[in-house]
């Protein structure tokens, strides 16, 4: 049996959770470590980074694709060229558009407040809500064309997007928006029942 891969990063990170989900789905054992900021293996000091017996892979999409190829099953990717293109475009949208709005500008403001006296900057939260609603509508429309962001079955794009959606749902701040994206709500409920999501998408333990 091969030793577990090492995922550098905290379990509360949405991207670390994406890598964990892919490991769970591909049946690859893993363990988490959080390296000192001065010795992080990512060239820009970011997380997550995957260490597979000394071979380092950084950037979440590349890590998830590596895990899929490593498994030898393509369980995380479709096989048809058009289905692959569908998944690849949603991987890009997740990283370039959803993450900056959902996580960086909203969730992180709630978890690590930057307002006066360590309070949530409500002006920043209010400012990003229209963009969240717009992106949720985009996410909802996509699922009316294909059942998953990776095509006909869950895959890498879904495991990148699900941790972001989970944090939105947990925030308690966007409830009325979620009522207007019924297909997305159905998708989220279905995905949450997968054993990988039940294990990984739990209430995070934040740094003290």
CB neighbours of residue 185 within 10 Å: 17
**Residues of the chain above pLDDT 90, percent:** 78
d(CA 130, CA 86): 26
Q: Which residue has the higher pLDDT, 93 or 34?
A: 93
Confidence of residue 208 (pLDDT cuts 50, 70, 90): very low
pLDDT tens digits along 188-201: 999 999 999 999 99
Give the chain's mean pLDDT: 92
CA atoms within a 13 Å half-sphere pointing along the CA-CB vector of 178: 16
- What would the DSSP string read from start to end of 29-82? -EEEE---GGG-SSTTS-S-EEEETTEEEESHHHHHHHHHHHHTS-TTS-SSHH
Q: What are the structural domains of the chain?
A: 5-71 (3.40.30.10), 81-195 (1.20.1050.10)
d(CA 183, CA 27): 29
pLDDT tens digits along 96-123: 999 999 999 999 999 988 888 889 999 9
- CB neighbours of 101 closer than 8 A, spacing ≥ 6? 128, 131, 132, 135
d(CA 123, CA 106): 11
Sheet of strand 55-58: strand arrangement:
30-33, 5-8, 49-52, 55-58
Prediction pTM value = 0.94
Angle of helix 122-145 relative to helix 156-171, nearest 10 degrees, comes to: 140
CA atoms within a 13 Å half-sphere pointing along the CA-CB vector of 76: 31
Confidence of residue 163 (pLDDT cuts 50, 70, 90): very high
């Amino acid at each position: 049996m091969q030793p577990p891969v090492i995922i550098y990063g905290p379990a509360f990170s949405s991207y670390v959770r994406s890598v964990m989900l892919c490991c769970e789905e591909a049946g690859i054992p893993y363990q988490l470590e959080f390296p000192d900021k001065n010795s992080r293996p990512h060239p820009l000091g970011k997380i997550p980074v995957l260490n597979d017996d000394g071979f380092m892979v950084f950037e979440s999409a590349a890590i998830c694709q590596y895990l899929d190829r490593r498994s030898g099953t393509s369980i995380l990717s479709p096989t048809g060229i058009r289905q692959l293109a569908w998944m690849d475009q949603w991987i890009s949208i997740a990283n370039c558009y959803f993450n900056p709005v959902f996580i960086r500008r909203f969730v992180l403001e709630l978890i690590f407040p930057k307002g006066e006296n360590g309070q949530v900057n409500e002006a920043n939260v209010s400012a990003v809500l229209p963009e969240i609603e717009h992106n949720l509508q985009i996410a909802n429309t996509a699922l009316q064309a294909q059942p998953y962001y990776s095509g006909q079955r869950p895959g890498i794009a879904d495991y990148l997007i699900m941790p972001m959606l989970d944090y939105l749902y947990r925030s308690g701040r966007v409830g009325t928006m979620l009522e207007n994206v019924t297909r997305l709500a159905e998708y989220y409920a279905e995905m949450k029942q997968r054993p990988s999501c039940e294990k990984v998408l739990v209430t995070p333990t934040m740094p003290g």
